[in-house]
Amino acid sequence: MISIYSCGMETFSVNGQPAEFEGDPATPLLWVIRDHIGLKGTKFGCGIGQCGACTVHIDGRAVRSCMTPVSGAAGKSVTTIEGLAPSEEKLHPVQLAWLEMDVPQCGYCQAGQIMAAAELIASNPAPDDDAIDQHMTNICRCGTYTRIRKAIHRASELSAEGS
Amino acid sequence: MSAVMISRRNFLVTGLTAAGGFAVGLPLGLGSAQADSASAGKIGFYVEVRPDNSFVLGTAQPEIGQGVRTSLTMLIAEELEVPWERVSIEPMPLGIVKTADGYTWKYGGQGAGGSTSVTDAWEFLRQVGATAREMLVTAAAQRWSVPVGRCHAEAGYVLCDDNGQRFSYAELAADAAALPQPEEPPALKPQSEFSLVGTPRNTIDARDIVTGKARYGIDTEMPGMRYAVIQRAPQLDAKVVSYDDREVRQVPGVVDVFKIDGPEPGAPYHILAEGVAVVATSQWAAFEGRRKLRIEWTESPWKDESTETFWAQTAELLSGEGQVVRDDGDFVGALSAADKTVEARYQVPYVNHAPLEPQNCYADVREDSVHIIAPTQSPSGSNRAAHTITGIDREKIRVDMTRVGGGFGRRLTNDYTAEAVLISQKIGAPVKLVWSREDDVQHDFYRPSGEHEFKAGLSADGKVTAWTHRLASASKYYRRENVAPEDMYGAEMYIDDFPAGIVDNLRIEWLAVTSGVPRGSWRAPAHTANAFTVQSFIDEVAHAAGRDPLELRLELYGDNRELPYGQHGGPTFNPWRLSRLLKHVAKEIDYGAERPKGRAVGIASHFTFGGYAAHALEVEVGSQGELDIRRVVAAVDCGVVVNPRGVEAQLQGGTIDGFSTALNLEITVDQGRIQQSNFHDYRIARMAEIPRNIECHILPYGDTPTGMGEMGIPTVAPALTNAIYNACGVRIRKLPIADQLAKQLS
């Protein structure tokens, strides 16, 4: 899909594709991503920035898209779970680690968890448990935290190995 | 709650004949004529062989995170003799068929509740795989003109023992599908020959999840679809007096606003609450429109209900006599003859299910058909809800199931399907209804709250001679027409639970609290409250008797024997299997070791829906009440293990759910209104609040499996509060633990 997102005079990209949105600039980025762009991997969980199911990257920084007005993405580069992997065949190290550690149960929070973890690994290539605790504030209702922790450590190794 | 009305048992007797002439007693139609699609490689409902010799296996059960898409598929694949790496899954819709005796299942029972999926499917799905395999073998034998006995299946091929040739399943599928189905299911392989079942397997569709491709109900998009939200009554059972929608209709995208009639207070319900629906061309417009609604509500009939009045009511009830639901021996006599008596009361709060995917449902009501797409634990309940509202024949109501973003019992109730159907019917177009988090926290069928009173009598030598458990609670049988008042206790007290059948003089009583708060099934229903209270009290009894809590449990659980168990999870209960787990976790945690002041171990064990679990925790409590959960050892005996990786996931997740709930979760009421509204004040535990490692131990037993969705939770809270008592002397008798330690110690 190629469309241009204009917020006032600004535009931004989603997963490398320029796009267009003509609605209220206060509309949360979450709903623009889900309902206007049609990328459903980013989830709605609480609408107040608590659970993190809606986590996406704006210029590489993890944000809660349910609390970010679309105007806040103006001129910036948005990455969603669909755009995290370098290619269809080659997954991101965090995604690979998530598969290896068999993290998901219901899976609903996992896109947000993965986006949060990807930011952590990018800024801190070998996070210790305290760093993980501090960074990972997303809610998993199924209780996959044990495996998320293992997967982040594993992603750190995979990243170092260059996969 | 609209429970499944179709008998699971009925299916095996009549299901297949009703579905179109299949052999009686064989739980699957396997002839090609009976397949749902005309695909050349389709052998019956569940098995599809692709031209590249890969295998698409149907999954009929709701996947709510309990792992059935993986574990149940393993059962088919084991007997089908196909390499797991070449297996993928295809979700199946609800299958119901009308017969002279009512409706029956087309694909086998469908519904996720009570941890029954693996148990119920254990033989059936292996027969599905075995039958398809035998048809493929027969097709090959016919091509080679050799007896079937000279052929065997292996890794997706049929091999001929005489000529050394082989055919792939793909080469045989069309012939196999045209064969008559065997009259009897083939013999199943002995468990010693399993090559897949019992091996650890990762979630089969996990790649879709980690790449954002997995589709949940909330992701549904269909042509011409509208988006809807409902503003429901903020106070329990309040009604709409009037509403002003002028500003709502100014919001770009809003197309309609109308009232949704709620049920009368106390009457059976189809939806939870009365409200006003806002329909729009986008989800955000619907939410924005709703913010502008001005609604005048009637006074709630429950306006005087609060959490305080609830506890006042339980105290008042417990001062009187209850309904005696079990009475063994001579409890009164034994108690008065006791050398020592112990008593305690415990309080368990209402809690919210809070699945992370908010409730939602797509409904397209046409003149003579309905299409539902929903995250549901009970697709037949969803179908029935749509039928009740529209009157349309149930076979014309299609229910498609998506992956479900958490269940926890909430989605056994299909009120949100009913709402979506009402809206689609009214606007004459397809609609997706979505709840906000606030809607979900404030409008739930909450886990029942209650106050538990225990008394025990001890002999001079420290034996338990008398035991009573009295519970004042509001039954989870909420507004049910078909449950008599004298049967309401059955949802709250499982009368054959420990120590029934073990302590000779035992009395169980239930007292009905009047509350307007809706109640329903919450993961492991009454086992959460009863394991917390019974397993706390057994420690209190042990301390009063001057005995070790582990040693007392082992004595009471006794020898390896089956006791009758009449509730779900029976027909028998073997308390010795709890001893086996307890000994294991005690050894792992070094139960008898000396520990520094402020540090101690607590244990608990419980039988839940056929499965056995135990926890041993080591905690440290600081001088100001700081709680540090240092070690968590969990053990489960769920019989035969189908997928150890999945069992471990459920045990970890159940344990974490147990911590989260015991530590902080509580729904409170004031003036007939739920006081919590979102995750800022209903604080599901974050990662930092949960112990970093959960040590999981799986102890297989016997030759049949039980489910695993629920047994990981109940023992967490009592093991934790027992450990806390042992560490600092504070006995937590009210959940959640919250700030009680800080208040009592600092």
Residues B429 and B478 in one domain: no
Residue B533 confidence (pLDDT) above 50: yes
Q: What is the pLDDT of residue A19?
A: 85
Tens-place pLDDT, residues A24-75: 899 999 999 999 999 999 999 999 999 999 999 999 999 999 999 999 999 9
Contact B202 A102 (CB under 8 A): yes
Least confident of A113-122, B8-17, B97-106, B724-733: B8-17
Q: Average pLDDT of B464-469?
A: 98
Is B440 part of a structural domain of the chain? no
Those of residues 462-521 in B touching chain A at CB distance below 8 A are: none
Per-residue pLDDT, averaged over B535-551, amounts to 98
- Supply the pLDDT for residue B542: 98
Average pLDDT, chain B: 94
CA B275 and chain centroid, separation: 28
Query: By CA distance, what is A107's nearest residue in B?
Result: B209
Q: Which residue has the higher pLDDT, B414 or B34?
A: B414
Q: Are residues B544 and B616 in the same domain?
A: yes
On the question of pLDDT at A2 being above 90, the answer is no
Q: What gap in Å lies between CA B73 and CA B744, rounded to an integer?
A: 51
Look at A18-22, B107-111, B415-419, B626-630 and tell me which has the smallest mean pLDDT: A18-22
Q: Which residue of chain B is at minimal alpha-carbon distance from A44?
A: B357
CATH superfamily of A2-83: Beta-grasp domain (3.10.20.30)
Confidence of residue A1 (pLDDT cuts 50, 70, 90): very low
Whether cis (ω within 30° of 0) applies to the bond prior to B27 is no
Largest distance between two CA atoms of chain B: 85
Residues of B in contact with A138 (CB under 8 A): 686-687
The pTM (predicted TM-score) of the whole model is 0.95
Structure confidence by residue, pLDDT tens digits, B288-333? 999 999 999 999 999 999 999 999 999 999 999 999 999 999 999 9
Is B324 found in the same domain as B177?
no
Please tell me if residue A73 touches chain B, with a CB cutoff of 8 Å. no
CA-based nearest residue to B423, from B308, B279, B286, B587: B279
Nearest residue, CB atoms, B206 vs list A24, A102, A141: A102
For A52, nearest residue in chain B (alpha carbons): B356
C-alpha separations of B521 from B3, B63, B375, B478 in Å: 11, 17, 16, 10
| Chain A residues touching residue B65 (CB < 8 angstroms) | 104-107, 142
Closest alpha carbon to B112 in B506, B408, B445: B408
Rg (CA), chain A: 16
Q: How many domains does chain B have?
A: 3
Q: Where are the beta strands (DSSP E) in B217-264?
A: 226-232, 240-244, 254-260
CB–CB of A143 and B252 under 8 A? Answer: no
Cβ atoms of residues B356 and A109 within 8 Å: yes
| Residue B346 and residue B368 in one domain | no
Q: What is the pLDDT of residue B746?
A: 84
What percent of chain B is modeled with pLDDT above 70?
Answer: 95
Give the closest of B65, B434, B678 to A105, CB-based.
B65
- Does B210 sit within 8 Å of A99, measured CB to CB? yes
- Is B311 part of any domain? yes
pLDDT number for residue A139: 98
Q: Is B58 helix (H, G, I), strand (E, B) or coil?
A: strand
Measuring CA to CA, how many Å separate A73 from each of A30, A37, A46, A138, B526?
Answer: 11, 14, 20, 21, 48
In a shared domain, residues B517 and B619: yes
Residue of A nearest to B653 (CA): A143
A142 at B interface, C-beta within 8 A? yes
pLDDT tier, B266 (very low <50, low <70, confident <90, very high otherwise) = confident
Measure the CA–CA gap between A104 and A118, rounded to whole angstroms: 16
Yes or no, beta carbons of B282 and A50 under 8 Å apart: no
CA-to-CA distance for B685 and B70, rounded, in angstroms? Answer: 27
| Interface residue B549 vs chain A (CB under 8 A) | no
Within-domain flag for B516: yes
Residue B721 lies in a domain: yes
Contact (CB<8Å) A107/B64: no
Pair type for strands B695-698 and B627-637: parallel
Contact B437 A45 (CB under 8 A): yes
* Domain match, B295 and B205 both: no
Residue B711 in contact with partner chain A when CB distance is under 8 A: no
User: Given an 8 Å threshold on Cβ–Cβ distance, is A24 in contact with B693?
Assistant: no
At residue B28, the pLDDT reads 43
In a domain, B279, yes or no: yes
CA distance B103 to B110: 13
Q: Which of residues 12-51 of A touch B (CB under 8 A)?
A: 23-24, 27-28, 31, 34-36, 38-48, 50-51
Q: Give the whole-angstrom CA distance, residue A162 versus residue B401.
A: 39
Examine residue B323 and state whether it is found in any structural domain, yes or no: yes
Least confident residue range of A81-95, B33-47, B52-66, B707-721: B33-47
Closest by CA position to B305, among listed B667, B666, B672: B672
| A137 lies within 8 A of chain B by CB | yes
| Interchain contact A127–B (C-beta under 8 A) | no
**Does any CB of chain A come closer than 8 Å to the CB of residue B694?**
yes
Report in angstroms the alpha-carbon separations of B123 from B129, B201, B321.
Answer: 10, 20, 46
Q: Do B413 and B280 lie in a common domain?
A: yes
Question: How many CB contacts within 8 angstroms connect chain A with chain B?
Answer: 182
Q: What is the pLDDT of residue A20?
A: 82
Sorting pLDDT into bands at 50, 70 and 90, what band is B707?
very high
Inter-residue contact B744 to B625 (CB < 8 Å) = yes
Q: B403–A34: do the CB atoms touch at under 8 Å? A: no
Note whether A159 contacts B: Cβ–Cβ < 8 A: no
**Using the beta-carbon criterion (under 8 Å), do A105 and B688 form an inter-chain contact?**
no
B233-238: average pLDDT: 97
Residue B6 has pLDDT above 60, yes or no: no
pLDDT score, position B184: 85
pLDDT at residue B39, as a whole number? 62
- Residues in chain A within 8 Å Cβ distance of B676: none
Query: Between residues 621 and 650 of chain B, which touch chain A (CB distance below 8 Å)?
Result: 645, 649-650
Judge whether B66 is closer than 8 Å to chain A, CB to CB. Answer: yes
Structure tokens that stand for B4 in this block: 């499944």
Query: Do B237 and B342 sit in the same domain of this protein?
Result: no
Residue of A nearest to B203 (CA): A102
Whether B125 is in a domain gets the answer yes
For A162, residues 6+ apart whose C-beta sits below 8 A from its C-beta are none
pLDDT per residue as tens digits for the range B12-65: 322 232 222 222 223 344 333 355 555 668 888 999 999 999 999 999 999 999
CB B233 within 8 A of CB B239: yes
Residues B412 and B486 in one domain: no
Give the containing element (helix H, strand E) for B386. helix B379-390
CATH class of A93-161: mainly alpha
Print the domain residue range for B391: 217-300+359-434
CATH of the domain at B378: 3.30.365.10
Tell me if chain B has a CB within 8 Å of the CB of A67.
Answer: no
Domain boundaries, chain A: 2-83, 93-161
pLDDT for A10: 52
Same domain assignment for residues B267 and B135: no
State the CB neighbour count (10 A cutoff) for residue B65: 29
Q: A80 contacts in B (CB within 8 Å)?
A: 212
pLDDT band at B265 (very low <50, low <70, confident <90, very high): confident
pLDDT, position A163: 62
**Whether B126 and B253 share a structural domain:** no
Mutating which of B203, B204, B356 best tests the A interface, going by the most A Cβ atoms within 10 A?
B356
Which two structure tokens, joined as six digits, stand for B367? 């003149």
Q: In sequence order, which ranges of A21-92 are alpha helices (DSSP H)?
A: 29-31
Q: Are residues B567 and B691 in the same domain?
A: yes
For residues B239-265, average pLDDT: 97
